[in-house]
Amino acid sequence: MTRWNDAVNQAGELPDFLYIDGQRVRDALLDVIETHDPASGVLLGSVPAGSRQSIDDAVAAARAALHGPWGDINPRERGRLMWRAGEAIRDQIDRLALVETLDSGKPMRDARAGVERTADYFCYYAGIVDKLEGTTVPLGRDKICFTEKVPIGVTGHIIPWNVPINMVARGLGPALACGNTAVIKPAEDTPLSALMVVEILEQAGIPPGVVNIVTGHGAVAGQALAEHPDVRHVTFTGSVATGKSVMIAAAQHIASVTLELGGKSPHVIMADADLDRAVPDILKAVFSNSGQICSAGSRLLVERGIQDELVTALVAKSEALRLGHGLDDPDMGPLISARQLNAVTGFAERAMQRGIEFASGGKPVIVEGCEQGHFFAPSIALNVPADDELARDEVFGPVLSVIPVDSLEQAIEIGNDSDYGLAAGIHTRDISKAMRYARAIEAGQVYINGYHAAGDTVPFGGMKHSGVGREKGLAALDAYYEVKSITVSL
Ligand code: NDP
């Protein structure tokens, strides 16, 4: 335990405040929310449970900044500030990655990659700020008509716990690039990195009020943010149930939403696939971040003839995966919380009660030195009926459901028979099959012969219950500006 306590000490003083209008707010009247290392159970710190009033204050600050300093900065300077912020984040990668690992349980290499991607979001969107051009519309000789992209206003960002620092930057990058201001509500389980990022933005020269953070409970601070009449756009990542309530809250004041709500993504392996390439890819697609990824390839649709060979290889490799504390850079860290561990365990136990066989895993594991950690074994469930809960619902843990299929057509039919439509993958040497699948599958992102191969500059988002709108890349900008047309009669 001492080792983990030493790591917490090494992280230095951790943020314990709300950040509103450039002020660190510590209000003795507010309850606090403790945050723990999910691998060791060690207490990291605590943050205030922001109230409705805290949200009101943060939105008022964001509004004032919109009409004040941020609105006055010319686009080129805004871009420079964002670039500087990105580079400042990169400069602090060691501490940010340490805290992200401690707060979320991720392996250190993933936390470091996450910080790099966070910096990249700021730098990528910094480059577009002075290129957000409008158009001219021909209306004849006696009129001049042109359009401008104008900020939408105060944006609200409700952040999940699975990739906390990235999600902050994923929404903030395009929002700030378009000239908006922001109020962020981090997840209760992982509030620290968002607060650290905002302190770096301050050092980089982003004016007070432009980015505000209110930590707190979803049902209070999150709900208040989505409901706030002065919030013009809400960006939310999380569960379908909470996404619906955010959408309803935003509808009450006609605010737009970007919703990223998870999935049950099909990963198809055809008999002609290169299995040496497919096997590590399948495992990475489902076990990265301990399966706590919205786009995880959690439904494996395998052409029946290669099922035995493939499953044997997958089981051997998954049983060799090393679980441990993120600081030891294991193959897999813990789940985020006891609640999530219970939820994942419940899925596995119910599946077993229905007679589903697990070729590996299917239960929590105790890791030496991390006995308080929320670890679940990498798990492979066989012959899962396509209509079973395990094949339909998002487990959000390291559980792969293997479903045999007889043809590409059947894979497409089963793949599309889902409420979700976030991501999809296929391994085959036949480009025609790959493209037929890519065209037919209902998913926002499709990967051929390499799951998750698209990076953060590629539009990302879901169809059906997986969400509304697109994040990442230039497509993300569309949510953050209004098109205003101005017509002059000569
Ligand atoms: P939620 O959707 O409840 O939480 C996501 C965010 O929304 C958190 O910041 C949460 O705050 C906030 N929130 C909660 N209730 C409200 C509300 N009424 N109004 C506004 N904001 C709210 O997810 P959970 O953490 O409960 O996880 C449950 C399941 O959701 C997971 O098992 C997984 O299936 C899915 N999920 C999907 C994610 C994805 O990437 N698409 C990410 C995370 C979860 P607080 O932390 O205080 O609860």
102 pLDDT more than 80 = yes
Q: Cα separation of 148 and 126, whole Å?
A: 19
Whether the per-residue pLDDT at 87 is higher than 90: the answer is yes
pLDDT one-digit tens code per residue, 178-231? 999 999 999 999 999 999 999 999 999 999 999 999 999 999 999 999 999 999
Tens-digit pLDDT profile for residues 167-193: 999 999 999 999 999 999 999 999 999
Q: What is the mean pLDDT of the chain?
A: 98
**Residue 77: band (very low, low, confident or very high) from pLDDT cuts 50, 70, 90:** very high
| pLDDT, tens digit (0-9, with 9 covering 90-100), for 324-350 | 999 999 999 999 999 999 999 999 999
User: What is the SS3 assignment for 210?
Assistant: coil
Residue 166 clears pLDDT 90, i.e. is over it: yes
User: What percentage of the chain has pLDDT greater than the value 90?
Assistant: 99
Whole-number Å distance, alpha carbon 462 to ligand 1 midpoint, is 17
336 CA: nearest ligand 1 atom: 25
**Structure confidence at residue 371 as a pLDDT band (50, 70, 90):** very high
Does any ligand 1 atom lie closer than 6 A to the CB of residue 260? Answer: yes
pLDDT band at 306 (very low <50, low <70, confident <90, very high): very high
Does ligand 1 come within 6 angstroms of the Cβ of 298?
no
Does the active-site annotation cover 260? yes
pLDDT above 70 (res 19): yes
* Ligand 1 centroid distance, CA of 188 (Å): 9
| pTM of this prediction exceeds 0.85 | yes
Q: Is 462 in the pocket of ligand 1 (CB under 6 A)?
A: no
Classify 124 as helix, strand or coil.
helix
The answer, yes or no, to whether any atom of ligand 1 lies below 6 A from the CB of 188, is yes
Say whether 428 sits in a helix, a strand or coil: coil
Residues 6+ apart with CB under 8 A from 127: 79, 83
Q: Atom 45 (ligand 1): residue with closest C-alpha?
A: 218
Catalytic residue among 178, 294, 303, 370: 294
Closest protein CA for atom 27 of ligand 1: 239
**Type and span of the H or E element at 448:** strand 445-448
User: Which pLDDT score is estimated for 129?
Assistant: 98
pLDDT of amino acid 2: 83
Determine the residue type at 288: S
Catalytic residue among 188, 260, 303, 442: 260
Confidence label for 1 from pLDDT (cuts 50, 70 and 90): low
Ligand 1: centre distance to CA 242 (Å): 6
- From CA 410, how far away is CA 118, in angstroms rounded? 39
- The answer to whether residue 370 is catalytic is no
pLDDT, tens only, 413-422? 999 999 999 9
Kindly report, residue by residue over 468-479, the tens digit of the pLDDT.
999 999 999 999
For residue 487, what pLDDT is reported?
98
Strands 364-367 and 231-237: unpaired
